[in-house]
Amino acid sequence: MIGLEGKTLAGRYRVDAQIGRGGMAEVYRGVDVVLDRAVAIKVLTERDDGERDRFLREARSMARLNHRNVVAVYDAGRSDGLSYIVMELVEGRTLGAIPAQELTVHTALRHYIEILEALEYAHASGVVHRDVKPANVMVVEGGAVKVMDFGLARRATDMTTQSNAGEIAGTIAYLPPERFLGKPADARSDLYSVGVMLYETFTGTLPFKSETEDLIAVIFAHVNEPPPPPRTVNRAVPPEVERIILRLLEKEPDQRYQSAREVADALRALLAPGPAPASEGAVRAAAAARPAMNPDTRRAEENARAMLERRFGKSRAVDVGYSETLAGMLATRKRDYAEASRAYKAALAAFAEANNEIERAKTALKLGLMLLQKLDEGAHTERLELREGADLLNDALPSLRGRAMQRELAEGERVLYALQRYLVHLR
């Protein structure tokens, strides 16, 4: 923590109290003493030159946006060695903090229409948000919506097919498949994230999650698995809303809605005079079937944020580890075992460099499972690679045991036993 309370930046912005904290910045309530107005002051805590450049990109992206549903940026600069952004002070609750029993279908859809109007404006200005999630949507008193924290936004023309060291920024639970595959991201990527949010609002759970808190499994599901239809989770979801959600969650961007306006128009049609698409109590029905603050949702959010904070720390090796693990999972699915083996070994080396024992152990388990799949299919397998896989898994088991990860530990012991039996057979 920087601890800026009571200081004045650039001789103009008095810092009063901290109101938020993220992986690379702290947010304070403050006062512009020249204009005598309350402001929010976001101060960069990361001193890396790359992060400073990214922070300035955020300021430039946000400063171009002037819309009733977008948090306004007033100023940006440096003072006493600190980089800062001065923004509109927005007080209220994030969308994710509103208990479901307070939402009717009508109010929920109105919130999302305003979110989409903000994104439509940003996209028309050439800005892709890249981090759309409930925590970045504020609902102020009176019900108006403000989309904030374009901290990961980039000019649409800056998007490329390359990622930095496998960089996957943002909150994992809400990111589109193309972000994990290193493909270009555009406005339709933000729409996928809106689809995840809608799914969560109407069902009380995320479309893709891991009961074992394995973030790589969540990434794999985003890329490969269809989401459970919302009405299989909550029968009170209107069929028309379900159709919109599932189209937003299409894996291929070309199969989604192509613009925020198109989605907003589809939601407006549900609010038009005429037969209601479903009872006003549909979202309340979802709340009745679950706790108002779903613990799985909260845990997924916290885990993803913790992972991002680790990954944007001093070492970039863990970035490579996650990227290569995903590559190994995809190669295993395609039965390209040579590529899977290469990717998993690269991931193991990267996690070892980052001193991330638990992810290294999980990756060793995935390598072992790949070898068993290869053996079960009768593919030629060298005794040396079996021995290497068994040794890596044997070394990994203490880490799983030490973290009380009973499910992974049991699976690891089963896989190790099977590999050892194959080794005996191959003698």
Sort 236 into a burial class: Cβ within 10 Å, 0-12 / 13-18 / 19+.
buried
Residue 169 CB-half CA count within 13 A: 21
Sort 19 into a burial class: Cβ within 10 Å, 0-12 / 13-18 / 19+.
middle
Phi and psi, residue 307, nearest 5°: -65, -40
Phi and psi, residue 19, nearest 5°: -125, -5
Q: Is 84 helix (H, G, I), strand (E, B) or coil?
A: strand
Q: Look up residue 152 and give its two tokens.
A: 């990961």
Q: Which of 131, 149, 190, 319 is catalytic?
A: 131
- The residues, any chain, with a CB within 8 Å of residue 397's CB and separated by 6 or more, are 361, 409, 412, 413, 416
- Whether residue 364 contacts residue 399, with contact meaning beta carbons closer than 8 Å, is answered with no
CA–CA distance, 133 with 217 (Å, rounded to integer): 20
DSSP 215-246: HHHHHHHHHH-PPPPHHHH-TTS-HHHHHHHH
Q: Could you confirm whether 376 is annotated as catalytic?
A: no
Write out the catalytic residue numbers. Answer: 131
